[in-house]
Amino acid sequence: MKTVTILRNAEPIAKVWNANRYFSRLRGLLGRTLEEGGGLLLTPCNGIHTFGMRYEIDAVYLDRAGCVLRVDQALVRGKVWPMQRGARRVLELPAGYAAKRSIQAGDILEVVP
């Protein structure tokens, strides 16, 4: 799976796996560990679950333009989370990383190869 860089105001905030194919989205983070500054970008996606996860994650919901619609922090394992209307992508990050990088609704995140 290829990686992409997530930028905010032209500053890199994370280097993540780009899950833009069916099987890579299906697998998601199952069997993977997240390092600080790493994550998974699910495209297309507007909702997630945490069944089978071994750790908590943050989820950042983005529209087509990269605008942050919602940030869910420290999602516990084994649940289905509400979908986000208008979301085109979901960025999954280590728990606490969204707050550490001050990611909030209204921010514009850019995805670059």
Q: Which two tokens stand for residue 113?
A: 């190869």
pTM: 0.95
Tell me, what's the pLDDT at 8?
97
Other C-beta atoms closer than 10 Å to the C-beta of 74 total 14
What residues does 9 pair with on adjacent strands? Answer: none
Tell me, what's the pLDDT at 31?
87
Residue tagged 């280590």 (tokens)? 94
CA atoms within 13 A on the CB side of 104: 3
* Omega within 30 of 0 (cis) for the link into 44: yes
Tell me, what's the pLDDT at 62?
98
Residue pLDDT, tens place only, 34-71: 999 999 999 999 999 999 999 999 999 999 999 999 99
Give me the domains of the chain, ranges plus CATH numbers.
3-112 (2.60.120.1140)
